[in-house]
Amino acid sequence: MHWSLSSSTTLLLTTAAIIASANEEADVSSSSSSTSSYLAVESPVWLANIKTPYDNARSLALSEEDIMVRPLDQVKNLHLSNYPSPLKAPPVDDPEVQAVIEQIDWSKVPKAPIRKATVDGELKIEETKENDPYCWWSSSLCSNPKVDYIPEDISYCPQAGDWGLNYDDGPYRVWSEDEDEKQWEEPRLYNFLVEHGKVKSTLFYIGSNVVTFPEAAQRAFSDGHTICSHTWSHPYMTTLTNEQVVSELYWTQKAMKEVVGVTPKCWRPPYGDIDDRVRAIAWLMGMRTILWDRDSNDWGLAAQSISADTVNNYFQDWIDQRVANKDNDHGHIPLQHESSNHTIMLTEKWLPELQKHFNVVSIHQCLGDTSPYWEDGPWNNMNTNDNPASSVDRHISENAPSGENQPSTEQNSGDNNANIEFNDPGNGNSLPNSRIAMGTNNKTLSKDHKKMPGTVSSNASSLLPSSHPNLLLLDSTLLLSTFFAFVLFA
Ligand SMILES: *[C@@H]1O[C@H](CO)[C@@H](O)[C@H](O)[C@H]1NC(C)=O
Ligand SMILES: *[C@@H]1O[C@H](CO)[C@@H](O)[C@H](O)[C@H]1NC(C)=O
Ligand SMILES: *[C@@H]1O[C@H](CO)[C@@H](O)[C@H](O)[C@H]1NC(C)=O
Ligand SMILES: [Zn+2]
């Protein structure tokens, strides 16, 4: 499938309010999104020339009866060279990134300040809800943009009783030969989902992980899970420049297009860290923001910053509320991860219970969104209808913490010793080239989500902020001198 670049480029130059839909049979067709008051975005035409080994975007997808428990398939015909170093801020001076930057209508990107990180790599949160001109979620839990041409973030399923199953940070690979550890990596979770009714989920994939574990990404896609972006290197997005934001999103889009053959219309910012500047760039690059309203804090299990009992109590509490008929406003989108043995054990324990009391489906199924990729055509209900999650602000105003309770660096103090675990300290001299071929490089990523400093600031009730533990700012010397284990969550 090749998109016709020239016609859509012309359209884009003519006006931003025209959608060029990528369409498998035909060249790019254009149509106006006049039913929407939101800024229409061009399909990501810059991906037109990306090679994907598939005849059409759905060729990996299996029919329902062919989905079964199985090992991963070998990846065929992928040549994943020329990607930036995994889990490292990707360069912005790359011609491909620059080409995307040129196509974005920057007049539509609010000029929010670039947010600061502390020396510990933690986000510095300076504003409060009362002074939040750019709808900065990390500060105020704002998810409804101040500009009217960008849609509200999606935080929950509209239908009470729906449970929008989803996982962050995959595909999960264990960079170890230890069988005890290895058993937890994909396809374990995906097989478990097959065994439990072939239930579908929405997967927020890290681009770096997609190119280093493409066979798992392909497997998830073939099982009918929906793939969304979760950036290339998992930074606090509001701390990045505009160009860095583009680069994080671009490489991830490219990886997905190349590996599974599709271009997601959805993304989730790491740590939920988004404001109108980042939101607008993502939207202009073809992605709507999806957050959550049920934070399991499961990332903290591997970090040992939360106990299994506490997390189990969250799940029990969510089920109890539903059973007690006290959870009838809308369905939910949990925050869970596929990033460690602990988080996968959590699914193995709770998914069967959730299925007894909720209609467990993917986020896209609960939204009724049947065209999650640009290859399916232009935006549909994701922007032409009222946001299914439009009452989110009400919940925020009910539940938003007061100023004193804002997520703060204090909450994480006392635990700032990042325990970076090195998988392969003996390999210190083999520097990853900044543009290595990663399809075969198996030593650049962490085997697990390790220790993450920070306490847990929210409880099982929804929409409280998740904690804002440190993003480990890896010292470049450290990075260059050894392969590393990196911490990812949210
Ligand atoms: C989970 O993984 C950690 C290492 O990340 C390991 O120490 C622990 O024993 C594992 N637990 C199980 C049950 O495999
Ligand atoms: C890394 O990959 C190479 C070739 O693909 C393989 O020979 C080697 O055993 C792998 N090492 C690890 C630690 O997985
Ligand atoms: C969680 O929040 C609810 C509602 O705000 C509160 O009643 C409950 O005590 C809290 N639980 C914990 C463990 O903090
Ligand atoms: Zn994450």
Residue nearest to atom 6 of ligand 2 (CA): 442
289 Cα to the center of ligand 4, angstroms = 14
| Residue 427 dihedral angles phi and psi, to the nearest 5° | -100, 25
pLDDT of residue 435: 19
Name which residue leads in pLDDT, 172 or 128: 172
Q: 131 CB contacts (<8 Å, ≥6 apart)?
A: none
| pLDDT digit string, tens, across residues 363-420 | 999 999 999 998 888 775 443 333 333 322 222 222 222 222 222 222 222 222 222 2
Between the alpha carbon of residue 2 and those of residues 52, 97, 98, the distances in Å are: 10, 20, 21
Residue nearest to atom 1 of ligand 1 (CA): 341
For ligand 3, say whether the CB of 399 is within 6 Å of any of its atoms.
no
Token pair of 12 as six digits: 């884009």
Ligand nearest to the backbone CA of 340 = 1
Of 424, 442, 446, the one to substitute when testing ligand 2's pocket (max ligand atoms within 8 A of C-beta) is 442
Of 179, 180, 447, 488, the one to substitute when testing ligand 1's pocket (max ligand atoms within 8 A of C-beta) is 180
Between the alpha carbon of residue 268 and those of residues 67, 112, 198, 404, the distances in Å are: 27, 19, 24, 27
For ligand 2, say whether the CB of 442 is within 6 Å of any of its atoms.
yes
Token pair of 395 as six digits: 């919940």
pLDDT of residue 244: 98
Of 459, 463, 466, 467, the one to substitute when testing ligand 3's pocket (max ligand atoms within 8 A of C-beta) is 459
178 Cα to the center of ligand 2, angstroms = 13
DSSP string, 227-264: EEE--SS---GGGS-HHHHHHHHHHHHHHHHHHHS--B
Q: 212 CB contacts (<8 Å, ≥6 apart)?
A: 86, 173, 438, 439, 441, 442, 444, 445
20 Cα to the center of ligand 4, angstroms = 31
Does 25 have pLDDT greater than 60?
no
417 occurs within a structural domain: no
pLDDT of residue 38: 75
Residue nearest to atom 9 of ligand 3 (CA): 459
For ligand 1, say whether the CB of 168 is within 6 Å of any of its atoms.
no
Query: Is residue 40 very low, low, confident or very high in pLDDT (cuts 50, 70, 90)?
Result: low
DSSP string, 327-350: --S--B-EE-BSSSHHHHHHHHHH
DSSP string, 128-166: -GGG-TT--HHHH---S-SSTTSPPPB-S-SSTTEEEEE
CA of 180, closest atom in ligand 1: 14
4 occurs within a structural domain: no
As a whole number, mean pLDDT of residues 334-344 equals: 96
Between the alpha carbon of residue 66 and those of residues 51, 189, 223, the distances in Å are: 27, 18, 9
187 preceded by cis ω (within 30°)? yes
- Three-state DSSP class for 31? strand
Query: Is residue 440 very low, low, confident or very high in pLDDT (cuts 50, 70, 90)?
Result: very low
Name the least confident of 311-315, 372-376, 458-462: 458-462
CATH number for the domain that contains residue 267: 3.20.20.370
As a whole number, mean pLDDT of residues 282-289 equals: 94
Does 54 have pLDDT greater than 90?
no
Quick one: how far is CA 403 from the chain centroid?
28
Q: Using CA atoms, how far apart are residues 407 and 421, in angstroms rounded to an integer?
A: 27
| Residue 362 dihedral angles phi and psi, to the nearest 5° | -75, 165
Residue nearest to atom 11 of ligand 2 (CA): 442
180 occurs within a structural domain: yes
Query: Is residue 43 very low, low, confident or very high in pLDDT (cuts 50, 70, 90)?
Result: low
Q: Using CA atoms, how far apart are residues 307 and 301, in angstroms rounded to an integer?
A: 6
Long-range contacts of 111-116 (CB under 8 A, 24+ apart): 111/277, 112/136, 112/238, 112/275, 112/276, 112/277, 112/278, 114/238, 114/239, 114/240, 114/241, 115/236, 115/238, 115/239, 115/273, 115/275, 116/239
Amino acid making up residue 423: N
358 occurs within a structural domain: yes
Ligand nearest to the backbone CA of 212 = 2
102 Cα to the center of ligand 3, angstroms = 48
pLDDT of residue 259: 94
Ligand nearest to the backbone CA of 343 = 1
179 occurs within a structural domain: yes
For ligand 3, say whether the CB of 459 is within 6 Å of any of its atoms.
yes
Write out the catalytic residue numbers. 168, 337
pLDDT of residue 18: 30
- Three-state DSSP class for 203? strand
Q: Which of 322, 331, 335, 230 is nearest to 292 (CA)?
A: 335
Q: Using CA atoms, how far apart are residues 352 and 21, in angstroms rounded to an integer?
A: 39
Q: 111 CB contacts (<8 Å, ≥6 apart)?
A: 277
186 occurs within a structural domain: yes
Q: How many domains, the chain?
A: 1
Q: Using CA atoms, how far apart are residues 210 and 218, in angstroms rounded to an integer?
A: 9
Q: Using CA atoms, how far apart are residues 74 and 327, in angstroms rounded to an integer?
A: 44
Q: 357 CB contacts (<8 Å, ≥6 apart)?
A: 319, 322, 323
Q: Using CA atoms, how far apart are residues 229 and 222, in angstroms rounded to an integer?
A: 17
- What letter does residue 22 receive in the DSSP assignment? P
Does 168 have pLDDT greater than 60?
yes
pLDDT of residue 130: 78
Ligand nearest to the backbone CA of 313 = 3
**Report for 73-77, 101-105, 142-146: range of highest mean pLDDT:** 142-146
pLDDT of residue 417: 22
Q: Using CA atoms, how far apart are residues 289 and 279, in angstroms rounded to an integer?
A: 7
Q: At what angle do helices 95-103 and 242-260 cross, to 10 degrees?
A: 110
Does 475 have pLDDT greater than 50?
no
CA 392, 398, 400: angle at the middle one, nearest 5? 85
User: Is the Cβ–Cβ distance between 58 and 43 less than 8 Å?
Assistant: no
Residue nearest to atom 2 of ligand 2 (CA): 442
298 Cα to the center of ligand 4, angstroms = 11
Q: Which of 306, 316, 348, 315 is nearest to 334 (CA)?
A: 315
User: Is the Cβ–Cβ distance between 453 and 415 less than 8 Å?
Assistant: yes
Gyration radius of the chain's alpha carbons: 21
Q: At what angle do helices 341-357 and 308-323 cross, to 10 degrees?
A: 10
What domain range includes position 155? 59-405
267 Cα to the center of ligand 3, angstroms = 29
Ligand nearest to the backbone CA of 483 = 2
Average pLDDT of the chain, as a whole number: 74
pLDDT of residue 48: 65
| Residue 345 dihedral angles phi and psi, to the nearest 5° | -60, -35
| pLDDT digit string, tens, across residues 340-357 | 999 999 999 999 999 999
Name the least confident of 209-218, 220-229, 270-279, 458-467: 458-467
As a whole number, mean pLDDT of residues 252-257 equals: 94
341 Cα to the center of ligand 1, angstroms = 6
Query: Is residue 47 very low, low, confident or very high in pLDDT (cuts 50, 70, 90)?
Result: confident
Q: Which of 381, 48, 67 is nearest to 193 (CA)?
A: 67
251 occurs within a structural domain: yes
pLDDT of residue 30: 31
For ligand 1, say whether the CB of 448 is within 6 Å of any of its atoms.
yes
451 occurs within a structural domain: no
Does 22 have pLDDT greater than 60?
no
339 Cα to the center of ligand 4, angstroms = 9
pLDDT of residue 265: 94
Does 428 have pLDDT greater than 50?
no
Residue nearest to atom 5 of ligand 1 (CA): 448
Note residues around ion ligand 4 (Cβ under 5 angstroms).
Answer: 168-169, 270, 490
